[in-house]
Amino acid sequence: MVRTLPAAAVLLMAGSISAQPLLTVAEARVDADGDGLPDRMGEVVTIEATATCNGTLFSGGSGLSFYVQDATAGINVYSSAVPGFSIDTGDSLRITGEITQYNGLTEIKPDSEYDLEYLGSPGEPEPSQMVIHQDVSESLEGLLLALGDRSTQQWVTVASHPSQAGGGYNFEVWNGQAAVSIRVDEGTGIDVSGIEPGVRLYIYGLGGQYDSEPPYETGYQLLPRSQSDLQVYSPSVPGQFHLTVWDNPFSPRAGESMHLEYGGPDDCRFSLTVFDRAGRSVAQLVDSRYGGDVMMWDGRDDNDEWLPVGPYVLLLQAVGPDGGRMTTTETVVIAERLD
């Protein structure tokens, strides 16, 4: 890989000695007393970690603002004092700087280019997979994250139109029951024109936070880095008759819903009915509707009452324009969560 480093940085690579103890990122950012502020705030520390985006991606064009992580945690690197230092995604760096915090975001702040030492380019770290119903939280702040899981076709659904806010756009997605805030920084060049409610996405991005008030427990965000971090889900076989369910079993009384998707040829009318073990129809979720959909079922019957714990059968029927019928079923289980 061809790299351009300032002469001073090249000299540093020849062997510098850092006065600060080498900490893991988790040690550098620790908040053991849980007050929302890093316990080492104001301390100068040294870490070794790998960049998960380029050095100026979030800097607004001057200085550095990017993210690094090691095996323990991730952190934002921020410095207005280090212009022109070329850092690529996947570069490993030794970084010395003061631990600070900006609107809830824990940062390490190098003072000059001498505080940054290039160690090699091991490549982009694997993203940490978020699970269904999970939001970004303090333990995920600074890490490269995957929201939605392509391997199990577990996408997230856009909940709101992007709204312009301070040099970028914000929108929300549903990850199961969790509303996750997505922050699109305009420095990323991401086009949000195709983002609208109902669009299904797999999202990669960095865990961030923007919370202007103590105790800094809210305002967590996911920050995609490029257009390819926002991947629109499209079914592998468009128009194919199908019924797919997730979150099964689920516990309605614990606030859980089941997600499902059905679809098929555009000219079919769909009906989706829930039957109990005795074969009685207990809930009509879809009735003679054209077109497929993604929806949630909260485990209630047609009288808006919670159904008892147990197995149920979902029956999807599609009737074509010539009266031809297709049917498929899925067994789902309403469970009681034992806490």
Task: Find the shortest distance in angstroms from Cβ 99 to Ca ion.
Answer: 11
Task: Find the shortest distance in angstroms from Cβ 98 to Ca ion.
Answer: 15
Query: Which two tokens mark 87?
Result: 């850092």
Task: Find the shortest distance in angstroms from Cβ 140 to Ca ion.
Answer: 10
Give the whole-angstrom CA distance, residue 279 versus residue 195: 41
Query: Which residue in the set 6, 24, 26, 31 belongs to the binding site for Ca ion (CB under 5 A)?
Result: 31
Q: Which is nearer to Ca ion, 142 or 292 (by Cβ)?
A: 142
Residue closest to Ca ion, measured at CB: 31
Q: Which is nearer to Ca ion, 103 or 240 (by Cβ)?
A: 103
* Contact region with Ca ion (CB under 5 A), list: 21-29, 38-46, 50-58, 67-75: 38-46
Contact positions with Ca ion (CB under 5 A) in 143-172:
none
Q: How many residues bind Ca ion (CB under 5 A)?
A: 8
- Is 293 a binding residue for Ca ion by CB under 5 A? The answer is no
Give the whole-angstrom CA distance, residue 246 versus residue 250: 9
Residue at token pair 């979030």: 58
Give the whole-angstrom CA distance, residue 8 versus residue 24: 25
Query: Which residue in the set 209, 221, 251, 257 belongs to the binding site for Ca ion (CB under 5 A)?
Result: 209
Q: Which is nearer to Ca ion, 104 or 299 (by Cβ)?
A: 104
Query: Which two tokens mark 195?
Result: 């983002």
Long-range contacts of 120-125 (CB under 8 A, 24+ apart): 120/91, 120/92, 121/1, 121/88, 121/90, 121/91, 121/92, 122/50, 122/90, 122/92, 123/50, 123/90, 124/50, 124/52, 124/89, 124/90, 125/50, 125/52, 125/69
Contact positions with Ca ion (CB under 5 A) in 173-192:
none
Query: Which residue in the set 3, 16, 35, 215 belongs to the binding site for Ca ion (CB under 5 A)?
Result: 35
Q: Which is nearer to Ca ion, 38 or 176 (by Cβ)?
A: 38
Q: Which is nearer to Ca ion, 31 or 276 (by Cβ)?
A: 31
Give the whole-angstrom CA distance, residue 30 versus residue 44: 14
Q: Which is nearer to Ca ion, 75 or 82 (by Cβ)?
A: 75
29, with CB counted inside 10 A (0-12, 13-18, 19+), is buried
- Is 37 a binding residue for Ca ion by CB under 5 A? The answer is yes
For the chain, the 3-state helix, strand and coil shares in percent, each to the nearest 5, are 10, 40, 50
Q: Which is nearer to Ca ion, 215 or 311 (by Cβ)?
A: 215
Phi, psi (rounded to 5 degrees) for 97: -175, 170
CA dihedral over 18, 21, 27, 29, signed as positive or negative: negative
Query: Which residue in the set 55, 74, 104, 299 belongs to the binding site for Ca ion (CB under 5 A)?
Result: 104
Task: Find the shortest distance in angstroms from Cβ 136 to Ca ion.
Answer: 10
N-term to C-term CA, the chain: 53
- Is 263 a binding residue for Ca ion by CB under 5 A? The answer is no
- Is 205 a binding residue for Ca ion by CB under 5 A? The answer is no
Query: Which residue in the set 14, 33, 278, 303 belongs to the binding site for Ca ion (CB under 5 A)?
Result: 33
Task: Find the shortest distance in angstroms from Cβ 45 to Ca ion.
Answer: 15
Give the whole-angstrom CA distance, residue 146 versus residue 154: 11
> Site mask, Ca ion, residues 39-58, x = CB under 5 A?
x-------------------
Q: Which is nearer to Ca ion, 88 or 217 (by Cβ)?
A: 217
- Provide the Cα torsion 266, 268, 269, 274; round to 10°: -100
Q: Which is nearer to Ca ion, 208 or 252 (by Cβ)?
A: 208
Contact positions with Ca ion (CB under 5 A) in 109-148:
141
> Residues in the site for Ca ion, rule: CB under 5 A?
31, 33, 35, 37, 39, 104, 141, 209
